[in-house]
Amino acid sequence: MRQMVFPGDEVAEGRVRLGGGVYRDGDKVYSSLIGLLDKKPNYVRVIPITGKYIPKVGDYIIGQVVEQLYSNWDIDLNSPYVGILSSDDFYRRLDPYSTELLEVMPIGTLVYARVREVTPTRKIYLTMRERVARILRGGRVVEITPTKIPRVIGKKMSMINMIRKETGTTIKVGQNGRVWIKGESGKVDIVVKALQKIEREAHLPGLTDSIKDMIIEEREKI
């Protein structure tokens, strides 16, 4: 069980490498967040348990087109920063001069994309030139606390694969706290309930098993 720490708590001393959620003051290292302490012999960080999504390079996100300017789409990321998707980063070749980008992806379109680059001024460039990236058509989106997404995925994707298998739905999980589900409407309801349960009980051990029991129970009711 990891220890819970609060802003200002001392978490390490001396020569250690710092991860996120900590800061150094003199010789000592303190937590800057409410979170769980992850401490190794020469590395320390605090895993946040609340807070907004801040894009990182390599994250897969579920975004929504909110604006189109020049040859870019602006993508809402459920974050303080807006994502930019250039027509060059679309999954197929587009000629930005002869195509109307809003006909390819109108405002409101949901996309599953990867964060390609984060500049020091926090411009967020996305890319869909990825095998798994695509436009999400139909389905349903739920938003949960972004810090609880790792729990939705589970160790080696155990949780998410179990939910997929037990409900027969298609699911995409974005690091920005959005989960997209497509399938039979009753089954989708079950997944939504399961996600809400994960969000509430993210701190409890043995969650995959209890979620599995819940899904089986709910499936009986249909």
Partner 1 sequence: MKVGQPEKFIIDGKRLDGRAVDELRPLKIKAGVLKRADGSAYLEWGGNKVIAACYGPREVHPKHMMRPDRAVLRTYYNMAPFSVIDRKRPGPDRRSQEISLVTRQALEPVVLTNLYPRTAIDIFIEILQAQAGTRCTGITAASVALADAGIPMKSLVPACAAGKVDGEIVLDLFDIEDNFGSADLPVAIIPKTGEVTLLQMDGNLKGDEFERAFKLAVEGCYQVYEKQKEALIEKYGGGD
Q: Which residues bind partner 1 (CB under 8 A)?
A: 3-8, 21, 23, 25, 30, 32-34, 48-52, 54, 80-82, 121-122, 147, 203
Residue 3 or 42: the one with the smaller Cβ distance to partner 1 is 3
Query: 30 and 83 in contact (C-beta within 8 Å)?
Result: no
Residue 120 or 206: the one with the smaller Cβ distance to partner 1 is 120
The least CB distance from residue 3 to partner 1, in Å, is 6
Query: 78 and 138 in contact (C-beta within 8 Å)?
Result: no
Residue 33 or 190: the one with the smaller Cβ distance to partner 1 is 33
Residue 13 or 213: the one with the smaller Cβ distance to partner 1 is 13
Q: Give the largest Cα separation in the chain, rounded.
A: 61
C-alpha closest to that of 31 among 16, 41, 20: 20
SS3 assignment, position 210: helix
The least CB distance from residue 35 to partner 1, in Å, is 8
The least CB distance from residue 205 to partner 1, in Å, is 13
- Contacts of 98 by beta carbon, 8 Å cutoff, 6+ apart: none
